[in-house]
Structure 1
């Protein structure tokens, strides 16, 4: 019997030992640290030898740089979006332009020497901009000459860490050598080794693991037990570039501008009679300048007697430039986009304007380039780039001459290509044309400038333009609407007296419409045509001025002189003097 028990015991011991071995292996497999190395090329998303992924603000992004001839480049579009949208590419001439408050800096694509309108030049030692295929790239070091941002490049594998914002970050010291892993857990692949005394940035601290950034830009996980001396530190923003000041020429007090449509040289003689009986006007803007060709030429109706009369009446003259009054443009031959896309045409246009300013002692220039109508190309994102570059370059000449630069733009309605924020920097005043809410050609009848349209226009513009530069444009005109029985909508526009006479002649009952803050009236003609009027008068103008006061606007601009009734001037004068 004893001889039978011994083999059984041996078998039991072997089973226990074998089970213990399996259990030990299971525990080892579960809790031991993996030595598997992650594929860092895939981790960063590297596409080829010249591809350099960018870690922005400690976040993996879709941004990629290119390493070309030992120089790091970003796409022009990424430079504009993430670093500095003041860089401008002149497609027609293949030039990269950067404009400061005092100079225009230009360098050709594929070139290394940048020239300035102040007469200086600089050899960069590298190409500032290059093409790869159809994509334009800009050297990151060239961008740094005019932008306070930082980047650090690493190789093996290629990647860049980049910072455009500088606040605070949480840092920790590594207690002893360990591994940074792709995910939290001992079985996760290894990204990179961490050495004792390495400093990491802590992005998120979990129960046992922390999401951190290694000294060379890898984002992964390390066990909390390896972290020491955790503290919040302030990041110092780079200061290699001193942002120059964009000085402005400002009025003493609020602007009270009125546009004066003169219709030609003979119209200058109407100024004295036009301003007779007005009060409070401190700026008059005659429609003097129009684009006259595609090379930057202008037609001018400027006159010295006009300037003298305005000055003698306490008014500055801000001569308006448009692109719709000259027959060359009105008949469809002219193309504003063509003018603005060429550095030569822009320079010629600016020289022509400033020559008139100096010749007649004009106080300011008012830019009213509109991008609608059959004779013009609708403005696009690219056209918007040419437009804002023209304003930047014109501002240099105006700033040097002490000339006020104002610009007329529509209210914000999906038209960000006007670059309102930049206009608020380079221009002295930004005038929003808070009218033509409903206009000739509108599919439905409606107010020219309802109070909500005005208020929204002001508030939305203030998101980009400082209040002390924002002037709100108001209408001195009313539009009378006619809706036929078949639904066709037409309209006529005229001044306040004209509209009031129409109301009297047709015995229209007018009632105050709280939604638009205008008097509204309607009647039906004998042929079934429905007539509607939203009247602009002293009361509707006053409600607009109230909104402007609440929002701290820099002043008011009115279209146009001669369309108003005499009761308008006292309320405008009160607004300006308030």
Structure 2
């Protein structure tokens, strides 16, 4: 009896193992079959979750447009996706748009707007405010930007396409398989679908994956279809109503440019005649200066100066300075009205004095005002170009100084003006507690390499100092006292001759150097010279870095040999060794 029970138990255990194994194999095979042959999803989901959703660059954005008498596009969408430089000026309740040739001002909810300060009329407002948000008329936007705006009424969505954008066209093939007609949210049949596509429906290809195309229908809905059911049908090129400016303003001046700043600080200091400066093409007199926060500009310009300059073959790019006054600058740049006030004065002066260009010199500016300075340049340049004026702007090398460097938006400024002039000097300031070169060559090269990461080489003019500093180091009971004074090239030469000093070449700076110990006194003088040695090397940097030219500071600091050296080196490229 006991033996029979043991046998039955073993038999039952064996049967259970067989059943369990078969069930396990069935489950594994089912999983494997499902992986290899997945069951297509029958779940349908909406593609758009909001009305008037924006479609741009194959993505969808929930910045909703509004439909009034026509379609209005959100200002925030335009700023984030189309034109980062578009500005809303709260003071005038206007949107400001700048292009290469035009400045647009659109007051809110008005049938009038302005192009380059000329009043224009519309039958609808270009700008609307709705529940605290700003919207721009789609019809008007297509007259300003090289875009095409498509409104899909059945899906209540909007697509924005760019001029010259190429669309790959396709059509849906015939198929009896319902699952293959369904446009999926992801490139797999197990994903939910957003629409079922009929034979012959026109499509546009947006993405090519391994087995699927991402397609978009003519009503804006997008998803994935198997390649086997999609027939490619050539391409379509978007032709917007307004095309990008093909012929931008180009200064009519031969390369390489040589500008020399002419430091004039009183009307009575304007010279009565112009000297022959070998190789110089442009004079930049320091005539215009910000007077207050209201945007009034001090003017000490001279018509005879310009006439004589033109007779000598020079162009005149008058300099406009912010007087290095950060508070005035902040207020004057803060509104469209005050910026336009400055621009109108500058353009009026340019017409009165027959100027060829304007040079902007804004320094000692609060870091937070940098974008407003860029906007000022954007608003000035199209109007200046309309008047035939070249616009240049002075900048410093990139550094951590908030008010002397960080406020410059160099990349954006390079797009806004014709030339950037980098003031490649004051490596050691007059108040520095360490004696050193005004502008050592390794320092210039290192900073040029950094600057050219953000500024195009052919828009950059290299600032060249025509002065030096005589450093005085006194040893006293309380330690070392360092002071300096600026010397012109002739003053430096005279000082050396009086002490019978011969300069020695300093390889570490690429300049000639002199040092003088006062007899019987704990006083040492040091001077890194600007002369033929350093100027030749600076001019060759134009060729080495393919720059637009040089700008020398300043005209009165140079001797006759300086102009000859610079002209000769700019005119003839030297083979520069890597070790130099």
Instruction: Please classify the TM superposition score into its range, dividing by the shorter chain length.
Output: 0.7 to 0.9
- Distance in 2, matches of 1:155 and 1:25, equals 46
Which 10-residue stretch deviates more, 405-414 or 238-247?
Answer: 405-414
**Aligned runs of 1:127-166 on 2, under 5 Å?**
127-130=126-129, 132-133=131-132, 136-154=134-152, 159-164=157-162, 166=164
Aligned equivalent of 1:558 = 552
Aligned equivalent of 2:373 = 384
Matched, 1:35 2:42: yes
Matched, 1:573 2:567: yes
Aligned equivalent of 2:238 = 237
Q: CA RMSD in A?
A: 4.3
- Distance in 2, matches of 1:443 and 1:57, equals 55
- Distance in 2, matches of 1:441 and 1:313, equals 39
**Aligned runs of 1:409-428 on 2, under 5 Å?**
409-411=395-397, 427-428=417-418
**Aligned runs of 1:40-119 on 2, under 5 Å?**
40=47, 46=49, 49=50, 52=53, 54-59=54-59, 63-70=61-68, 71-76=71-76, 78-85=77-84, 87-99=86-98, 104-117=103-116, 119=118
- Distance in 2, matches of 1:492 and 1:64, equals 61
Cα deviation for residue 37 of structure 1 reads 2.4
Question: Are the structure 2 counterparts of residues 574 and 64 from structure 1 closer, same or farther at C-alpha, using a change threshold of 3 Å?
Answer: farther
SS in 2 for 1:306: helix
Matched, 1:203 2:207: yes
Q: After superposition, give the CA deviation of every residue in 1:204-234 in whole Å (9 maximum; x if it has no partner).
A: 332xx3141231445543334333x347x44
Cα deviation for residue 454 of structure 1 reads 4.1
Aligned equivalent of 2:184 = 181
Gaps of 5+ in 1: 1-14
Q: After superposition, give the CA deviation of every residue in 1:309-344 in whole Å (9 maximum; x if it has no partner).
A: 4344443333222121xxxx75x7x61232233444
Question: Are the structure 2 counterparts of residues 55 and 286 from structure 1 closer, same or farther at C-alpha, using a change threshold of 3 Å?
Answer: same
Gaps of 5+ in 2: 1-18, 573-580
Cα deviation for residue 79 of structure 1 reads 2.4
Cα deviation for residue 544 of structure 1 reads 1.6
- Distance in 2, matches of 1:447 and 1:50, equals 64
- Distance in 2, matches of 1:214 and 1:310, equals 62
Cα deviation for residue 160 of structure 1 reads 4.1
Q: How many residues align?
A: 533
Aligned equivalent of 1:457 = 448
With normalisation by structure 2, the TM-score equals: 0.75
SS in 2 for 1:262: coil
Alpha carbons 2:126, 2:137 under 8 Å: kept: yes
Cα deviation for residue 195 of structure 1 reads 2.2
Matched, 1:282 2:272: no
Cα deviation for residue 33 of structure 1 reads 1.9
Aligned equivalent of 1:407 = 393
- Distance in 2, matches of 1:292 and 1:217, equals 55
Aligned equivalent of 1:123 = 122
Matched, 1:448 2:452: no
**Aligned runs of 1:331-346 on 2, under 5 Å?**
335-346=328-339
- Distance in 2, matches of 1:73 and 1:192, equals 26
Question: Are the structure 2 counterparts of residues 451 and 34 from structure 1 closer, same or farther at C-alpha, using a change threshold of 3 Å?
Answer: same
- Distance in 2, matches of 1:39 and 1:418, equals 47
Aligned equivalent of 1:517 = 510
SS in 2 for 1:319: strand
Within the candidate set 465, 475, 482, 2:465 is matched to 475
Question: Are the structure 2 counterparts of residues 528 and 362 from structure 1 closer, same or farther at C-alpha, using a change threshold of 3 Å?
Answer: farther
Question: Are the structure 2 counterparts of residues 265 and 212 from structure 1 closer, same or farther at C-alpha, using a change threshold of 3 Å?
Answer: same
With normalisation by structure 1, the TM-score equals: 0.76
- Distance in 2, matches of 1:255 and 1:151, equals 43
- Distance in 1, matches of 2:55 and 2:440, equals 48
Cα deviation for residue 521 of structure 1 reads 6.1
Cα deviation for residue 568 of structure 1 reads 0.8
Q: After superposition, give the CA deviation of every residue in 1:398-445 in whole Å (9 maximum; x if it has no partner).
A: x33x44443333346697975656655665544332333443456866
**Aligned runs of 1:314-329 on 2, under 5 Å?**
314-324=313-323
